[in-house]
């Protein structure tokens, strides 16, 4: 019996730019589907910016029909205001995915980096390079899109091990 491929949406949430990446996992084979980023308009209110992220992610889900979503848990050591805004963007990513009926998992940034690069403290350039190695056809033209693809790849590796991801 052959299992159908699983389409995974990876999301790297941010209020200014939310990266997204879609891959297909079929057994141990991984294939690039699409990626990009959703930009909110900094000249508008927070409510409008969150709506922009919501509408953009809903369009991605409608266009690419993923089966599951993976969202990066973000670690912020800056000011509380930045952490709050980032948390709101994460909330949009989680709720849009859940409202679409997707199974949603969250992954710590260090686990994503360790899974993709082998080092939990890898920088964005290392992540982008390994994403290109693992998904040679990927067209990630921003760090946000590359990070989102890394989140999707991490989920493909750890699917069904949600407890491990939160450890």
Give the residue numbers marked as catalytic: 12, 72, 144
- 157 contact partners, CB below 8 Å, separation of at least 6: 115
Report long-range pairs for 39-45 (Cβ below 8 Å, ≥24 apart). Answer: 40/15, 40/16, 42/16
Q: What are phi and psi of 5, to 5 degrees?
A: -65, 150
Q: Are 14 and 89 in contact (CB under 8 A)?
A: yes
Q: Give the integer Cα–Cα distance in Å for 164 and 107.
A: 9
Q: Is 42 helix (H, G, I), strand (E, B) or coil?
A: coil
DSSP state of 16: S
Q: Is 124 helix (H, G, I), strand (E, B) or coil?
A: helix
Q: Residue 136's closest CA among 64, 33, 37, 32?
A: 32
Q: Give the integer Cα–Cα distance in Å for 145 and 130.
A: 13
């Amino acid at each position: 019996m052959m299992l159908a491929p699983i389409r995974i949406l990876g999301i790297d949430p941010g209020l200014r730019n939310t990266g997204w990446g879609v891959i297909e996992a079929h057994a141990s084979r991984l294939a690039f589907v699409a990626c990009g980023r959703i930009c909110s308009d900094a000249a508008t209110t927070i409510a409008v910016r969150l709506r922009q992220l919501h509408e953009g992610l809903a369009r991605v889900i409608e266009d690419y029909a993923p089966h599951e979503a993976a969202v990066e848990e973000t670690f912020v050591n800056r000011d509380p205001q930045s952490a709050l805004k980032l948390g709101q963007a994460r909330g949009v990513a989680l709720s849009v995915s859940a409202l679409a009926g997707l199974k949603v998992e969250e992954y710590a940034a260090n686990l994503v980096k360790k899974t993709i690069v082998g080092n939990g403290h890898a920088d964005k350039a290392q992540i982008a390079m390994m994403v290109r190695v693992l998904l040679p056809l990927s067209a990630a033209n921003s760090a946000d899109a590359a990070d989102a693809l890394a989140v999707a790849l991490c989920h493909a590796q750890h699917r069904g091990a949600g407890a491990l991801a939160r450890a």
